[in-house]
Structure 1
Amino acid sequence: MNTLSLAPALAGFGSGLALIVAIGAQNAFVLRQGLRREHLPAVIAVCILSDAVLILAGTAGIGRLTQTAPLALDIIRWAGAAFLLAYAFLSLRRALNPSALQAGGQPGGTLAAAVLTCLSLTWLNPHVYLDTVVLLGSLAATHGPDGRWVFAAGAVAASTMWFTALGFGARLLGPVFARPRAWQFLDAGIAVFMVLLAVSLVAGS
């Protein structure tokens, strides 16, 4: 890869990483699955593939369409807020029921349930569209017809690296979460965080 094509790739990688690393519902779920070591490859794959689809869609120009359809984002915002509140309720229920927790984490359900939750946390979050489709799509367009795809490749690489590191790196915290009390604090924190996210979505921030 020559210097000319490397520049947009590095720009895409940096921009993508800056947006993806921000703590959100999706990252919190991946962290929890990583700590539990449960259905982790599938969850990480869903996150990476979803980001890739959204980034490529934005690069192809769908970002402009999203900007002209505020009603679609409003529908996603309210649906996402409802889902986040439901997820907060489940997390709070786990936090208040320590007897259901076991060392290393309580089994959290089937592969299908984990994948569905991950898909919902990803695709029902309007910030995902604003960040990956609109913002990254707009930034990609500044690199010209050819450079924009190199930019997109860099952004997808950033997403791949982040979710892989977050999911599998969470295992380093395993000794801390060998105690049920630690899981209670984590679930309580996630519940509060999900409520705050839901409020921010409804408020349109």
Structure 2
Amino acid sequence: MLTALFHGIALALGLILPLGAQNVFVFNQGASQPNFKKAIPVIVTASLCDTFLILLAILGVSVIVFAIPALQTALFSIGLLFLLYMGWSIWRSKPSKLEQDATPLSSKKQILFALSVSLLNPHAIMDTIGVIGTSSLNYAGIDKVIFACATILVSWLWFSSIAFAGKLVGQIDTNGKIMLIINKISAIIIWIVAAYIAYKLFQM
């Protein structure tokens, strides 16, 4: 049981720690929202998406989905469009401290963007299937349940922590200049992910 627990924690941390579009977006929302409570939609959405992908990978359902080329192409195409739009929106956005009429993303947009950056990111999906799904084959019964719960728990704690870290940066950034730079970096990272998706589509 302990082996499955620690394996799940270590694996989830290894996959979630690298800087990517999902982490950047959650951090950005933590920093740009007026209070931490307003960032809860993005935290919950990103965490639920990871939970969904992890369960699909462990249950083996995701392998069946990716065996259908047309479905894979459609998924990647929609993801590409969403990420291009999201990157453009974040690039153009200005912190409210710099612009009086600037408004943070609504709960609806947070959820929509978090869904796209989580579920339509082939790199994240393939990591979940290839690494977590494959690793789960080493366990059965209660050990597999513990392994799944450990990876899911890390995901929820991580997204809450990174949004909180963003909130702290937002509070320190009294004139909004740091957040302006973070917005530009966030948009660039999201566009890099979009370029990766375009490359994968070209290969299909």
Partners of 2:90 and 2:106 in 1: CA distance? 17
Q: Deviations over 1:104-139 (max 9, x none)?
A: 884223222221221122122122321223421111
Contact 2:33 2:104 in 1 (8 A): no
Q: Deviations over 1:124-156 (max 9, x none)?
A: 212232122342111111123442221111101
- Is residue 123 of structure 1 aligned with residue 122 of structure 2? no
TM-score scaled by length of structure 2:
0.85
Partners of 1:64 and 1:123 in 2: CA distance? 15
Code of the residue aligned with 1:189 in structure 2: it is I
- Give runs of aligned pairs for residues 179-190 of structure 1, distance below 5 A: 179-190=175-186
Task: Report the equivalent of 2:90.
Answer: 91
Q: CA deviation at 1:162?
A: 0.7
Higher mean alpha-carbon deviation, 159-168 vs 32-41, is at 32-41
Q: Deviations over 1:3-55 (max 9, x none)?
A: xx111111011111111122121111110111123521221111112211211
Task: Report the equivalent of 1:28.
Answer: 24
Partners of 1:70 and 1:139 in 2: CA distance? 24
Contact 1:58 1:136 in 2 (8 A): yes
Code of the residue aligned with 1:73 in structure 2: it is Q
Partners of 2:88 and 2:140 in 1: CA distance? 46
- Give runs of aligned pairs for residues 44-123 of structure 1, distance below 5 A: 44-94=43-93, 101-103=95-97, 106-123=102-119
Higher mean alpha-carbon deviation, 160-169 vs 34-43, is at 34-43
Partners of 2:142 and 2:195 in 1: CA distance? 40
Runs of at least 5 residues in structure 2 that lack an aligned partner in the other structure = none
Partners of 2:121 and 2:171 in 1: CA distance? 32
Contact 1:73 1:126 in 2 (8 A): no
Overall identity of the aligned pairs, in %? 24
Runs of at least 5 residues in structure 1 that lack an aligned partner in the other structure = none
Contact 1:59 1:152 in 2 (8 A): yes
How large is the RMSD of aligned CA atoms in angstroms? 2.2
Aligned length: 196
Code of the residue aligned with 1:115 in structure 2: it is I
Contact 1:104 1:177 in 2 (8 A): no
Partners of 2:50 and 2:98 in 1: CA distance? 29
Higher mean alpha-carbon deviation, 37-46 vs 16-25, is at 37-46
Task: Report the equivalent of 1:144.
Answer: 140
Partners of 2:70 and 2:141 in 1: CA distance? 30
Q: CA deviation at 1:167?
A: 0.9
Q: Deviations over 1:72-112 (max 9, x none)?
A: 22322222122111112222222xxx5xx432884223222
Question: Secondary structure at 1:178's aligned position in 2?
Answer: coil
